[in-house]
Chain A
Amino acid sequence: MDKQTHHSPAIVLDNAAISRGGHTIWSHGNFSIPTASVTAIVGTNGAGKTSLLKAELGLLASSSGSIEVLGQPAGKAKAKIGYVPQSYSNQDDVNLTVEQSVLLGINGNRFGIHPTRVSERGQARRAMSLTGIEDRAAARLGELSGGLRQRAAIAQALASDPELLILDEPLANLDLASQRECVQVLSNLNHELGMTIQIVAHDLNVLLPILTGAVYILDGRPHYANIHDVMNSDLLTQLYGTPVEVVTTPQGNMFISPHAGGSKPKEQNLHTRSRNCQQ
């Protein structure tokens, strides 16, 4: 990454709006997200989180205003963005090794006859070592556990040396240990390579140690704020649409807890889980 991009923001929304089928999903998006930040994208289901990702990737045009990514209009910087979509179970049928899948992240969009180059293999190996999956390079994707498959997907996104990494619900359907490993991988990418990272997430707790900010979509408007300003019980209660409370432990760690007076924390867990399953 050159110094110039380091100082300019990674993503700039200027009065941006997104509509689909004549229906406005959100509008008045005015914010800029700094380079080398780790941002969560939060909001209730259907608020437009995925639309924001798609707009940044240039797959969905803004209906008004502008969206700039890495100093270029959205969609022009495809080569510099790594994208990890929500994982879905029908990938069990995909018969590729981890290495082949990662290689597609490098040359999968190339037409014509291209035998894989030695340099591409090296690039793939580097990407796999960044997510700690190089020892499973020859394993088939279908044989991997959910956590390892997520790391293989991140390696694929990293293979083309992106400056911006966008992940859609990377932690959904992962057990706690895999969630922590995944967060550790993201933390390393951010700290060691200065990569800008955006994560769509429902559960912020496991991500809190690495988050620098959050985009939240409230009342049809996307906002960006520093993570300390987002960690506010009233705001989060509004965002989640159910009472939650920000708790600070005596050690100074913060986490989001279902509201103490709001009863039935168990039921809420079930609710989040079933929501993840549906997606």
Chain B
Amino acid sequence: MTTFTFDPHWFTTLEAPFMLKAILAGALIAIAAGTMGYFTIARNSTFAAHALAHIGLPGATGAVLLGLPVSAGMGLFALAGALVIAALGKKASQREIATGTVLAFATGLGLFFARLSSSASQQMQAILFGSILTVSTGQLVTFIIFDLVLILALCLVYRPLLFSSVDEQVAQAKGVPIAAMNVLYMTLMAGVITIAVPAVGTLLIFALIVTPAATANILTASPLKAMGISSLICLIAIWAGLVLSTMFPAPPSFIIVTISTLIWALTKFGHYLSTFTNKAS
């Protein structure tokens, strides 16, 4: 067992090339997770988003088995899952039993693929819990392209997507193509999951996509501000996770998830206190 001690040479580790890549990746992941997290909560699709990560798992381990990049397999499966959920309609993404069942099956399938090859077995933990320190230059380029596509897409569909997210029936009556919005949301979500998994892994993704957005929703009622704040929380969590992991022998994923959860819990507590004192006065 390694002892939990402070590493005095942490700054040297921080200057390593792999660390610079991780810091850049963290910023790109924060932008994607923060903005889409808002829509995920507004659409009541948190469980579906969580499920996408798990559906991506057999894709990731399957890709290793075939000697393909993990992200490619992950992205392909997440996208296929996203399109199936989208085809079933927004209501389907709220069907927790069906989603949960598929989620469990996908995780099992991921394990099965991992057992078929030793290299997939070795990657299993990285896929489940993240390995932001091993992000490659190729992955970084993919992240940059995805973020640009995401921002461009959101600029084009921001209002109709927001309208269909918060009030699908009225949006439909006003001529918003809600089926197309649903497919677009799920597709973008598959992309976000694929690029966020390297940071915290499929099991902890909830803490990076949903938790910061929920925190931002407590702090502001403005959608754009909420997207900004949740991206900022993601960024703080990821960067702090990277820095602290150079100082102490703890994996970045653990610190990222801990910080995200702490910020959420403190905000929730602060909000509770302020409403409590407002009522009392």
Contact = CB atoms under 8 A, between A and B. Distances in A.
Interface of A: 57, 59, 78-79, 81, 83-85, 90-91, 93-97, 100-101, 104-105, 107-114, 138, 140, 156-157, 160
Query: Which DSSP category, helix, strand, loop or mixed, fits chain A's interface?
Result: mixed
Given A95-B217, A95-B221, A111-B160, A78 B174 contact: yes
A245 to B, nearest CB: 35
Interface string B150-174: 0000011111101100110111111
B170 A85 contact: yes
Given A95-B42, A100-B222, A108 B171 contact: yes
B38 to A, nearest CB: 8
Interface string B16-55: 0000000000000000000000000110100000000000
Contacts of B94: 90
B156 A109 contact: no
Contacts of A93: 41-42, 44
B159 A110 contact: yes
B175 interface: yes
A111 to B, nearest CB: 6
A222 to B, nearest CB: 20
A109 B169 contact: no
Chain B interface mostly helix, strand, loop or mixed? Answer: helix
Nearest to A104: B163
B240 interface: no
Interface of B: 41-42, 44, 94, 155-160, 162-163, 166-167, 169-176, 217, 221-223, 226
A105 B221 CA distance: 17
B159 A109 contact: yes
A86 B47 CA distance: 25
A78 B222 CA distance: 27
Contacts of B155: 112-113
A83 B221 contact: no
A101 to B, nearest CB: 7
Contacts of A140: 221
Nearest to A98: B221
Contacts of B174: 78-79, 83, 105, 108-109, 160
A83 B158 CA distance: 22
A110 B160 CA distance: 6
Nearest to A81: B173
The 8 closest A-B pairs by CB, nearest first: A108-B163, A85-B169, A83-B173, A95-B217, A109-B174, A94-B166, A97-B221, A57-B173
